[in-house]
Amino acid sequence: MKFLDLAKVHIRSGGGGAGCVSFRREKFIEYGGPDGGDGGKGGDVWAEAMDGLNTLIDFRYQQHFFAKSGQHGMGSQMTGKSGEDIVLKVPVGTEILDEDEETVIADLTEAGQRILLARGGNGGWGNLHFKTSTNRAPRNANPGQPGVERVIWLRLKLIADAGLVGLPNAGKSTFLAAVSNARPKIADYPFTTLHPNLGVVGVDGREFVMADIPGLIEGASEGRGIGDRFLGHVERCAVLLHLVDGTSETVAEDARTVLAELAAYSPLLMDKPRITALNKIDALDEDLIAERRAALEAGIGGPVQLMSGVAKQGVPQVLRALWSEIAPTRRVVADDADDAPWQP
């Protein structure tokens, strides 16, 4: 299935049916009076977050969603049938934006969440509503209200506990494949990852979800490369794992490049807990490992883990460090659930 995380959608709710002008006509009843029914309500347009979806690809092949209009009222005080609603089924983690691509209408982060995007028009009143003591035979009725038409954007941000960031070929896909059942494309050239990948990672009997996004390069925040398109997927992560290629001779400069692009994209990413790991140490001797670790620690101003995704050296230690940052967020969610009012 092809991955798509941004889609433009045209929606329109149904218009209300018109009210009816009608008079009762029966044998032996000379003045039956008005009996025009009301028009039916137009259908609404909803969006609902669904489990089991992880892409917006369906919205590439269908971009227009128009709800049915309500049926017109009829004689004998019969109300018209209401139009059927339309529900846009989107993955959990989908943001709904206005046409300007900046105003957030809703953020669906839990399965089953629903948001009304366009309300259907009300049906018009039939002439029965206009009968008064001085106007016994009204010949007017209301038209139905028109539906609402608008353009929205759907933007998917994957729900993950930890996010992998780094330059191309830093070993992110290899690491994800080593610690989970995910099978991302792995090759010895840059930009082998063209779309985000998710994997379920286990450590010490606990599990969490990790997201791997395409590599960042210098100038990504200005549109160079493809990694900046997917940085939104790690905005929801509790912790970031920054992998640095240990075989590079400029490890400190490489790390600063990625950090600069994260800061340029959103200060929110820089405020997240971050664990830095020097990867591919299986290809280095001990002296070179110590030298480059020291250079990297001086460059980022913090501690550096040592690991190799291929040889799985130091991987458990990195996973435990990630879990130590994720665990407090899990407890917060559990506490919030305990404090929620009981529902019968």
Q: Residues forming the annotated binding site for GTP?
A: 166-173, 191-195, 212-215, 279-282, 308-310
* Separation between Cα atoms, residue 151 and residue 74, nearest integer Å: 34
How far are the Cα atoms of 71, 138, 178, 344 from residue 144, in angstroms, in the given order?
10, 18, 61, 39
Residue ranges for the binding site? 166-173, 191-195, 212-215, 279-282, 308-310
Q: What are phi and psi of 337, to 5 degrees?
A: -65, -35
Beta bridge partners of 203: 206
How far are the Cα atoms of 95, 127, 281 from residue 9, in angstroms, in the given order?
13, 38, 47
* Tokens, residue 150: 């608008």
Contacts of 283 (CB under 8 A, 6+ apart): 246, 247, 308
How far are the Cα atoms of 63, 105, 115, 314 from residue 59, in angstroms, in the given order?
6, 18, 18, 42
- C-alpha radius of gyration, the chain, whole number: 29
The DSSP string of 34-98 is B-PPPPPPPPPEEEEEETT----THHHH--EEEPPPPPPPBTTTBPPPPPPPEEEEEETTEEEE-
Name the residue with tokens 């018009």. Answer: 124
> Is residue 172 classed exposed, middle or buried when 0-12, 13-18 and 19+ CB atoms within 10 A define those classes?
buried
* Bridging pattern class, strands 162-165 and 206-212: parallel
Name the residue with tokens 């692009």. Answer: 261
Residue ranges for the binding site for Mg(2+)? 173, 193
